[in-house]
Amino acid sequence: MRFAPWKVAQAAVAFLQIVRDPNKLEKVFDLRESLEDPKVVDPVIAALKLDERAASAFRDRPRLGKIDLATLERMPAGSLGREFAAHMRAQNLDPAAIPTLPSANERQYLSAHLYETHDIWHVVTGFRTDVAGELGLQAFYYAQFPSGLSAMLLAAGFLNTTLYRIDERTVRMDAIVEGYALGKKAEKFYGVRWGDMWTRSLAEIRRELGVEPVGSVGAVASIAA
């Protein structure tokens, strides 16, 4: 398996910058783009399509569409929509500011679906958006499907912890271990049509997907609290 030199260079630069500062979100995007090669992407798609829900998503390519937080905030207490809105408000995130990736084919849809549902996965699993929580969620991803991006982000997290934040090794490792175990136990998340579930109880969705929200390590005990 060989990659274009410029992609290797782009991945190396992005990886090292993430090692230095895991909060550099734009470098995560650069790393993702460097891994958008059929040699990397096609095996991931093949693995995901072993699950019927994911296979159906690749056929139909459903999208979340426009998200209005004010509308979601009026949904019933405890609903996925209301909890998601609370999460986005707490993180000062505006769904309208998140670019919409194209999904004209399966390779594009792989990234587009993961990109636009990332914060929903945070809400359903309970992981925070600090470094420990993000590493825990990446471990969840990696348990669910063979994500090259997740593997590299976890590797960058290990190096960052060792070189710069050894004081956080316990909380980060606990989150990674918990995320991987949760991902192995839960139903597959890829392809879940979250946009059809906004009004449903988050607790009910978690039961349906076999998810017990993570504990105090790297997690949110109550998003709406």
Q: pLDDT tens, 158-168?
A: 999 999 999 99
User: Do the domain assignments include residue 16?
Assistant: no
Structure confidence at residue 220 (pLDDT)? 41
User: Do the domain assignments include residue 21?
Assistant: no
User: Do the domain assignments include residue 23?
Assistant: no
Q: Is the pLDDT of residue 224 over 60?
A: no
Structure confidence at residue 39 (pLDDT)? 87
Specify whether the CB–CB gap between 34 and 27 falls below 8 A.
Answer: no
Specify whether the CB–CB gap between 175 and 214 falls below 8 A.
Answer: yes
* Structure confidence at residue 3 as a pLDDT band (50, 70, 90): low
User: Do the domain assignments include residue 219?
Assistant: no
Q: Which domain holds residue 176?
A: 37-209
Name the more confident of 37 and 151.
151
pTM of the predicted structure, to 2 decimals: 0.90
User: Do the domain assignments include residue 170?
Assistant: yes
User: Do the domain assignments include residue 179?
Assistant: yes
Query: How many domains is the chain built from?
Result: 1
* Structure confidence at residue 2 as a pLDDT band (50, 70, 90): low
* Tens digits of residue pLDDT in 201-223: 999 999 999 999 886 434 443 33
Compute the mean pLDDT over every residue in the chain, rounded to the nearest whole number.
Answer: 91
